[in-house]
Structure formats: structure tokens, C-alpha cells
């Protein structure tokens, strides 16, 4: 996977940025502290992005089959006999209880 740079500046570019001073310029210590805070944010964002990219890749690589959908069973006709009902009940008991019922 190709890594793209999302921000215009890298943390190294921010760190290495040198401002010219003038008579009424900014306090250099305040600027340096602010740039240090920005670098920490960049590092945190880069770490979070890497973690999310890894999580996305792991989710993409999981092979979970789609859920199986069974066709509905046909409903019995209204004129069933007792024999049909008993046979279905017996099949249901075999299915639910298995061989335990007949041991």
C-alpha cells in the first residue's frame, strides 16, 4: 500500500523551520513551544492513521462467509391427517433430540 502524505508539512519540516527575528518579532520561545505542540499533534495523528489503516487491512483480509439464508418450508395443507402430523412430530423429535430419544 502506498503511503500518501495528508498534510502539507511533515513533523520534520515544522521542527526545522527557522523564523527570522525582527525588532518587534514574536517571542522565539513561545513560537518554539507552539511548534513543539504541533509536532506532537502530527505524531499522534500519524499514529492513529497507521492504526486505522492496519485495522482496515485486517478487516479486509478476514474471510467471513455471508450469512446463509434458508428457503422457508412450505406450510402444510389444511386437510392434514393425524398420521401426517404424527410423522412430522416424530421427525422433529429425531431432529431435536437425535439418537438420545431412541437409546
Mean pLDDT by 10 residues, the chain (103 residues): 64 79 78 86 89 90 70 64 78 74 55
For residue 24, the Cα-to-chain-centroid distance in whole angstroms is 51
Does residue 77 lie in a domain region?
A: no
CB-based contact 39:14 (threshold 8 Å): yes
Is residue 101 situated within a structural domain? no
In a domain, 100, yes or no: no
pLDDT of residue 21: 73
| Inside any domain, residue 97 | no
Domain residues for 35? 11-61
Domain count of the chain?
1
DSSP-assigned states of every residue in the chain: -PPPP-SSS-HHHHHH--PPP-TT---HHHHHHHHHHHHHHHHHHHHHHHHHHHHHHHHHH--PPPPP-PPPPPPPPTT--HHHHHHHHHHHHHHHHGGGGG-
The model carries a pTM of 0.45
Q: Give the count of alpha carbons within 13 A of 91, CB side only.
A: 6
Amino acid at each position: 500500500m502506498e503511503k500518501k502524505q495528508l498534510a502539507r508539512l511533515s513533523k520534520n519540516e515544522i521542527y526545522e523551520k527557522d523564523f527570522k527575528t525582527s525588532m518587534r518579532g514574536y517571542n522565539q520561545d513561545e513560537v518554539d513551544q507552539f511548534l513543539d505542540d504541533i509536532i506532537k499533534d502530527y505524531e499522534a495523528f500519524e499514529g492513529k492513521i497507521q492504526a486505522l489503516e492496519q485495522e482496515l487491512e485486517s478487516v479486509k483480509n478476514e474471510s467471513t462467509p455471508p450469512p446463509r439464508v434458508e428457503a422457508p418450508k412450505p406450510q402444510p395443507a389444511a386437510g392434514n391427517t393425524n398420521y401426517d402430523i404424527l410423522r412430522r412430530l416424530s421427525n422433529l423429535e429425531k431432529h431435536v433430540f437425535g439418537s438420545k430419544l431412541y437409546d
